[in-house]
């Protein structure tokens, strides 16, 4: 005899969440905290399965979430972590406060993959595409063949984008915009030597990725639904919570992004149990900031 099923799957609602459902779920979590997801739908008066509630909360409603596009700094961290961890989105997300695995996964699939390909980097292996194509060759031959393409890549991207190459320090690292040549022949040998699992984690603070303002920023400056949606919660003006302006494209290029905030330890995240401010708002029916509720 095992546990009880999490929910009857009959009559459950699917699809996009409504503001009313969100309000019910938030109210419930505020009152009861995150406990047994199985019980949440019934107690909160929702026709959803517990799993759906958990996903909605963790991916969208949690007050400590950042909304909006990833900053350049975050994007660079994602790339670097992905080179070490692969598609372990939750692990990657754990290095980026306020970001969810789903969000990072989506961003990777829709933005970063394309950028890397444009730059001649294989997003799966983080190696130059020419290496991937010749994966079955002997390492020494690969080394001989890869140096020239990377040099060309560096020159090509010098003026317009961040360039990455393989180094002895990690799987992925920038190539200086000054176009300095690859420092030695070891970069490739090391990369071949390490598997994804073996490469030690790099301290994010030690990242030396250099990014130009053009390519990276332009692609992250597109306004989107998410930025509109983010205003849904952002507009609530939680008194104790400092909403970072990551979704504001106008700030992406002026060093007000998350990188600086993280580096300056200014990030103001809510403790998951500290909902007093949100609770106040939710219980204040007259609050004009709750128009969407």
Partner DNA sequence: AACAAATGCAACCGCCGTCAT
Partner DNA sequence: GATGACGGCGGTTGCATTTGT
Site for DNA (CB under 7 A): which residue of 15, 197, 250, 288?
A: 15
260 near DNA, rule: CB under 7 A: no
Contact 215, 160 (CB under 8 A): yes
Over 38-55, what HEC string results?
Answer: CCHHHHHCCCCCHHHHHH
The partner residues of 164 in beta bridges, in order of sequence, read: 174
Residue 120 has which token pair? 């001649």
283 near DNA, rule: CB under 7 A: no
Q: In degrees rounded to 5, what are phi and psi of residue 121? A: -110, 135
107 near DNA, rule: CB under 7 A: yes
Site for DNA in 208-227 (CB under 7 A): 219, 222-226
> Of all helices (H) and strands (E), which one includes residue 164?
strand 164-165
Q: Which is nearer to DNA, 2 or 200 (CB)?
A: 2
16 near DNA, rule: CB under 7 A: yes
6 near DNA, rule: CB under 7 A: yes
Which of 173, 215, 167, 210 shows the shortest CA–CA distance to 192? 167
How far is residue 194's CA from residue 247's CA, in Å, rounded to a whole number? 36
200 near DNA, rule: CB under 7 A: no
Task: Report, in Å, the least distance between residue 91 CB and DNA.
Answer: 6
How far is residue 94's CA from residue 100's CA, in Å, rounded to a whole number? 8
Which of 20, 51, 5 shows the shortest CA–CA distance to 40? 51
How far is residue 115's CA from residue 219's CA, in Å, rounded to a whole number? 9
How far is residue 276's CA from residue 291's CA, in Å, rounded to a whole number? 20
Site for DNA (CB under 7 A): which residue of 31, 32, 106, 268?
A: 106
Sign of CA dihedral 169, 216, 82, 163: negative
Q: Which is nearer to DNA, 64 or 169 (CB)?
A: 64
How far is residue 204's CA from residue 197's CA, in Å, rounded to a whole number? 18
Task: Report, in Å, the least distance between residue 208 CB and DNA.
Answer: 26
Site for DNA in 222-251 (CB under 7 A): 222-226, 229
Site for DNA (CB under 7 A): which residue of 23, 27, 43, 88?
A: 88
Q: Map residues 55-74 to x or -, x wherever contact with DNA holds by CB under 7 A.
A: xx--xx--------x-----
Residue 225 has which token pair? 């639904």
Contact 177, 160 (CB under 8 A): no
Q: Which is nearer to DNA, 102 or 277 (CB)?
A: 102
182 near DNA, rule: CB under 7 A: no
23 near DNA, rule: CB under 7 A: no
Site for DNA (CB under 7 A): which residue of 8, 19, 45, 90?
A: 90
Site for DNA in 28-57 (CB under 7 A): 36-38, 48, 50-52, 54-56
Q: Which is nearer to DNA, 107 or 127 (CB)?
A: 107
For DNA, the binding residues (CB under 7 A) are 1-7, 13-17, 36-38, 48, 50-52, 54-56, 59-60, 69, 87-91, 101-103, 105-107, 109-111, 114, 219, 222-226, 229
């Amino acid at each position: 005899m095992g546990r009880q099923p999490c929910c009857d799957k009959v009559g459950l609602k699917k699809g996009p969440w409504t503001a009313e459902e969100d309000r019910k779920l938030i109210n419930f979590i505020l009152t009861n905290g995150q406990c047994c997801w199985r019980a949440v739908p019934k107690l909160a008066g929702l026709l959803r399965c517990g799993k759906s509630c958990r996903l909605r909360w963790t991916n969208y409603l949690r007050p400590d979430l950042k909304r909006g596009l990833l900053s350049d700094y975050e994007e660079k961290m994602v790339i670097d972590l992905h080179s070490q961890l692969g598609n372990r989105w939750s692990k990657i997300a754990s290095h980026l406060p306020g970001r969810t695995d789903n969000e990072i996964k989506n961003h990777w699939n829709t933005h970063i993959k394309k950028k890397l390909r444009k730059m001649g980097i294989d997003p799966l292996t983080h190696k130059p595409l020419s290496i991937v194509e010749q994966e079955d060759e002997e390492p020494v031959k690969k080394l001989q063949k890869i140096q020239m393409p990377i040099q060309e890549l560096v020159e090509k991207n010098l003026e317009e984008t961040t360039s990455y190459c393989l180094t002895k320090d990690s799987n992925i690292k920038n190539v200086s915009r000054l176009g300095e040549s690859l420092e030695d022949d070891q970069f490739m040998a090391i990369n071949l030597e390490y598997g994804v699992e073996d490469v030690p984690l790099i301290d994010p603070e030690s990242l030396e990725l250099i990014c130009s303002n053009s390519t990276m920023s332009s692609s992250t400056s597109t306004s989107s639904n998410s930025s509109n949606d983010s205003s849904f919660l952002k507009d609530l003006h939680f008194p104790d919570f400092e909403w970072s302006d990551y979704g504001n494209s106008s700030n992406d290029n002026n060093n007000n992004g998350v990188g600086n905030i993280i580096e300056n330890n200014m990030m103001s995240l809510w403790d998951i149990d500290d909902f007093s401010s949100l609770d106040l708002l939710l219980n204040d029916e007259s609050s004009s900031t709750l128009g969407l509720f």
